[in-house]
Structures are given as structure tokens and as C-alpha cells.
């Protein structure tokens, strides 16, 4: 058994849901970047280095007509994932204990290949094998989603990792290592605090604080782990190209674009006339990026990555804004309050009416065609083809600026809770064992002790009135209604 495998056998990987790996998200971004991706509801998905399997199990419960496979070399994690899948009755997911270096895909192809939290934490020969598997197993319209640590953001913190490794190398147990690491971090926090307020001390003290806040398993696997090997974007892309895989873009699409830099910096960088990859690499230097979740496709597709705004017509959208005041002059202009950039002013009848319609579905991913029809009704006219094309360009700009979200799959929360609310089988188990429930857009909603107790009542045997009566004795009615509303919106409940 290798030292890396041994460390993962000893340290249980936490139960997490990774939003950046959501097939509905990957499908949508792939389409915007020119790939006709497979419908996530009827796809084949593999998670390489699946750990506890929670991320894949959530997908399997959501997409019952898709097929899922998780592989990991940690036998204890695979056994746990297999047991949970059986317990909650998921038959469209399988888990296999395997070392990627020796694993035989047996000619199988997958529409979505996920490797989250693997690439930077394994030796080069495993990285090489991961690229080989992606090349062999990607379907013609498939996408591989690989996360990794990046430079330049990881450069300076490496000195802290070196120190922690040095001060804990003689410790024999995980508990001793964590305790010793925190003693070093506590000392550094005090030492940097006693220095004059200069960039060096302020930056490193912030990094120390980030490490101190990590849960023990992450501290053990990241700062104290056997392997942690960041790379630059250009290195990652070059290595993938050696295996006939081309860099499509990022699961966090906005990271690729100048629009999220200060305007002066964006103009100056644009004037350099760099190619797409050189621009993204320089952006990483400006923002000191330390993590990426990149998307790869097979070179056999014969396409160069390009943004296709018209692909918006095949997607579902969710707003990150709400109206701020009334629209002016027959919907020629309107203000919206944004979560990220204060007030945003939008102009043009198609865009204004579309966004007003979109904002009326704050918790939904709504199909473009439905939104367009409602916007035309609001405007009192049918939009011409050139107006729809311009609307798609404007919506793409809003997406790049993090004002809207996209998905390949629609979702609308129920208008009201069922008479006898019931969490999905997987969420009932996750709530009680791991104090979390998974949502419809592949995120995890953490539960406090009160929310966890309330979720325990939601097994389909009690009416809402009975749940309110029992839980009302704990903390009054206000927390009950807040929690019930969160659960209604989240998609954590079974359909009525």
C-alpha cells in the first residue's frame, strides 16, 4: 500500500457536495462553449477519486435515469458508499475499489468524467493516467471536470506547508499532528501580529488564519498530506494536450473573463492582445488564484472553444438580482439590486422585460423559452430574431458578471409544502448522520441541531400541523417557519 493510499485509509474523507461538478452545470457551460453536451438526466457519469461517494449519490438520486460509477483506492470509503447506496435504495449508482494506475475501464465511455480533489494530491504517474482515462473514456460529446491547486496563489503558502511538515514529521498519530500544527500556527499568528503592519506580515497572518480554520481532516490531507502539487494553468493545459484533450474552459465560467477585473486593469490587459490562454494565465496573477476546476473535451470534436451566446436559448436561468424600483418609459430601462455589485441598470425592452420576468422566479431555474414568451407578453410584442440574438448576448454578459446562473435542467420549488412533508431517502440519512441536506442545484445545506431535529420529523408520517406542534415546544414558531421555507425552496423534499 502506498503512503498516499495509507493516509486516505486512515483519514475518512468528509461528506461533501461539490457544486462545480454538477452535471447540469457542466452541460450548460459546455453548450455555451460549443459542445453539444448530453442531457444530464440521461447520461453516464464517473467520479474518479469519489471518496465517501456523497457527491455522486446526490447526483444519482436527482437523476434517476442516469448511470453513475465511483472509483477510489480507499477500501473503507468505497464500502461506506456502497452501504449508503443500498440503504437509500439507489440502484443507478455503483462504487468500485480500485487503484487508478491499474484500473481497466473495459471500453466504457462516459458523458461526464469528474475528478475533484485528486489531481494535485497524487504523483505525476497518476496524473498521467487520469489524462489517459479521460482520453479513452470520454464520449464524443463528453466533458471531463478536473479540479487542481494552481500557481501563483499557492506559491507563498507553500512556505507555511513546509514549516508545518517539518514540525509534525515526528508525530506518530493524526491527533498529535493536528495538535502540533496548531501550536505552530498559534505561534505564527502571535508573531506576525507583533510585527509592524507591512504587506508581508499581514498576508501571511491571513494565510495562517485560513489554515487554522480548517477542519482536522482537511488540515491532515492538505498542509500535512503526503502530496500537494500545484501547477500553472498553462502547464495543466499543455499536459492535457499531450493526451489529445483540449481546454474548454472553467466550471466557474466568470473566472475566464476580464469583466471581473477592475475596469482599468481589464482595459490594459485587453490592449495587450494576448490569446485566450495567456489572458487567463495573467488574470490568475492579478487575482492570485490558487484553485481551478477546469473542463476538458476530446480533440476529436474538431472544434475550437468559443462562446456561443445563442446556446442560451437551450438553457435554464436563475436570477441573482431583484427589481429595484419601477421600469421607465415602456420598459426601456430598469434598475436591479444585485447580490454582487449593488445596483445594476439594464436597458432595452427585450432585456428589461426578460429580466423582470426572470426576477419573478427567484428560486427557480426556468427555461429560456418560457421566460422569452412571458417577456414578449409583458412588452406587448414578439421580438425579432436580431432582438433575441442581442438578448442572448446581453444574458451571456450578465452570466460572465455573475448576475445570473445557468443550468441544463429546469427546477421550480413547490408552491407549498405537502400535507405530510418527507425528505428524500438520501436526505433523511444525510440530515441525521452528517447534519446536511442536498439541494436541487447540487449544493449542501448545513443543519444546526434544531434543523436536524426538525428534519427527523419529516419522514412522511406527520402532517405539517403535527410537525409544527412538536417542534414548537423547542424554540417557538419563527425558526420552524424559516426552516420549512428553506426546505421547500431547496428541493430536499420528495414530490408530493
Question: How far apart (Å, rounded) are the C-alpha atoms in residues 246 and 236?
Answer: 10
471's CB contacts (< 8 A; 6+ apart) are 453, 454, 457, 480
**Closest by Cα among 116, 98, 103, 107 to 47:** 116
Strand partners, 254: none
Provide the pLDDT for residue 449.
Answer: 87
Distance from the Cα of residue 374 to its chain's centroid:
30
3-state secondary structure of 321: strand
Helix or strand or coil: residue 493?
Answer: strand
Q: Which three cell numbers stand for residue 297?
A: 473535451
* Cell triple for 41: 438526466
**Using CB atoms within 10 A of its CB, is residue 126 exposed (0-12), middle (13-18) or buried (19+)?**
buried
What lies within 8 Å, CB to CB, of 2 at 6+ separation is none
- Report strand pairing: 333-338 vs 321-323: antiparallel
Quick check: 131 and 239 in contact, CB under 8 A?
A: yes
**Which residues have a Cβ under 8 Å from the Cβ of 386 and sit 6 or more positions away?**
none
Are 162 and 321 a contacting pair, CB within 8 Å? no
* Nearest CA among 437, 317, 372, 381 for reference residue 16: 437
The model's pTM: 0.93
DSSP 331: T
| Each residue's pLDDT expressed in tens, for the chain with a length of 496 residues | 465 656 565 666 667 899 999 999 999 999 999 999 999 999 999 999 999 999 999 999 999 999 999 999 999 999 999 999 999 999 999 999 999 999 999 999 999 999 999 999 999 999 999 999 999 999 999 999 999 999 999 998 888 999 999 999 889 888 999 999 999 999 999 998 888 877 777 888 899 999 999 888 888 878 888 788 999 999 999 999 999 999 999 999 999 999 989 999 999 999 999 999 999 999 999 999 999 999 999 987 656 678 999 999 999 999 999 999 887 778 999 999 987 777 889 999 999 999 999 999 999 999 999 999 999 999 999 999 999 999 999 999 999 999 999 999 999 999 999 999 999 999 999 999 999 999 999 999 999 888 898 999 999 999 988 988 887 665 555 578 888 899 999 999 997 5
Quick one: pLDDT at residue 3?
Answer: 59
306, 34 contact by CB (below 8 A): yes
**Cβ distance 217 to 245 under 8 Å?**
no
C-alpha–C-alpha distance, residues 45 and 487, integer Å: 27
**For residue 482, what are the CA distances in angstroms to 454, 468, 477, 479, 489?**
11, 12, 9, 5, 11
> Looking at residue 197, what is its pLDDT?
77
DSSP string, 5-45: HHHHHHSPPP----GGG-HHHHHHHHHHTT--PPPGGG-EE
Amino acid at each position: 500500500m502506498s503512503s498516499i493510499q495509507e493516509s486516505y485509509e486512515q483519514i475518512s474523507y468528509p461528506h461533501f457536495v461539490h457544486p462545480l461538478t454538477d452535471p447540469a452545470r457542466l452541460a450548460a457551460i459546455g453548450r455555451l462553449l460549443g459542445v453539444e453536451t448530453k442531457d444530464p438526466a440521461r447520461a453516464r457519469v464517473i467520479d474518479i477519486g469519489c471518496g465517501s461517494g456523497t457527491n455522486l449519490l446526490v447526483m444519482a438520486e436527482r437523476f434517476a435515469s442516469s448511470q453513475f460509477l465511483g472509483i477510489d483506492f480507499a477500501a473503507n470509503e468505497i464500502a461506506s458508499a456502497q452501504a449508503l447506496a443500498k440503504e437509500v435504495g439507489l440502484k443507478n449508482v455503483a462504487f468500485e475499489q480500485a487503484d487508478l494506475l491499474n484500473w481497466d475501464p473495459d471500453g466504457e465511455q462516459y458523458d461526464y468524467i469528474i475528478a475533484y480533489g485528486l489531481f494535485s494530491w497524487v504523483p505525476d504517474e497518476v496524473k498521467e493516467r487520469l489524462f489517459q482515462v479521460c482520453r479513452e473514456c470520454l464520449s464524443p460529446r463528453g466533458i471531463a471536470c478536473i479540479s487542481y491547486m494552481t500557481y501563483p496563489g499557492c506559491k507563498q503558502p507553500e512556505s507555511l506547508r513546509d514549516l508545518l511538515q517539518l514540525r509534525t514529521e515526528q508525530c506518530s498519530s493524526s491527533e498529535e499532528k493536528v495538535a502540533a500544527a496548531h501550536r505552530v500556527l498559534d505561534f505564527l499568528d502571535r508573531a506576525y501580529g507583533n510585527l509592524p503592519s507591512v504587506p508581508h506580515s499581514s498576508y501571511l497572518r491571513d494565510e495562517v488564519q485560513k489554515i487554522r480554520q480548517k477542519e482536522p481532516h482537511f488540515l491532515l490531507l492538505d498542509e500535512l498530506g503526503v502530496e500537494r502539487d500545484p501547477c500553472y494553468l498553462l502547464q495543466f493545459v499543455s499536459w492535457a494536450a499531450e493526451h489529445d484533450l483540449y481546454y474548454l474552459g472553467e466550471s466557474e465560467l466568470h473566472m475566464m473573463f476580464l469583466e471581473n477585473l477592475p475596469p482599468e486593469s481589464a482595459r490594459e490587459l485587453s490592449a495587450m492582445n494576448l490569446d485566450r490562454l495567456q489572458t487567463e494565465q495573467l488574470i490568475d496573477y492579478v487575482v492570485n488564484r490558487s484553485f481551478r476546476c477546469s473542463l476538458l473535451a476530446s480533440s476529436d470534436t474538431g472544434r475550437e472553444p468559443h462562446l456561443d451566446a445563442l446556446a442560451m436559448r437551450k438553457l435554464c436561468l436563475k436570477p441573482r438580482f431583484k427589481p429595484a424600483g419601477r421600469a421607465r418609459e415602456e420598459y426601456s430601462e430598469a434598475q436591479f439590486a444585485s447580490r454582487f455589485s449593488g445596483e445594476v441598470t439594464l436597458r432595452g425592452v427585450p432585456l428589461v422585460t426578460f429580466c423582470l420576468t426572470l426576477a419573478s422566479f427567484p428560486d427557480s431555474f426556468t427555461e429560456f423559452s418560457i421566460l422569452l414568451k412571458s417577456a414578449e407578453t409583458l412588452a406587448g410584442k414578439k421580438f425579432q430574431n436580431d432582438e433575441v440574438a442581442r438578448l442572448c448576448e446581453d444574458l451571456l454578459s450578465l452570466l460572465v458578471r455573475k448576475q445570473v446562473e445557468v443550468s441544463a435542467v429546469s427546477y421550480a420549488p413547490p408552491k407549498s409544502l405537502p400535507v405530510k412533508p418527507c425528505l428524500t431517502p438520501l436526505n433523511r440519512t444525510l440530515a441525521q448522520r452528517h447534519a446536511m441536506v442536498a439541494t436541487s442545484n447540487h449544493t449542501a445545506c448545513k443543519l444546526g441541531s434544531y434543523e436536524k431535529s426538525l428534519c427527523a420529523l419529516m419522514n412522511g408520517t406527520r402532517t405539517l400541523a403535527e410537525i409544527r406542534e412538536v417542534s414548537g415546544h423547542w424554540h417557538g414558531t419563527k425558526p420552524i417557519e424559516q426552516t420549512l421555507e428553506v426546505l421547500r425552496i431547496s428541493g430536499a423534499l420528495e414530490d408530493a
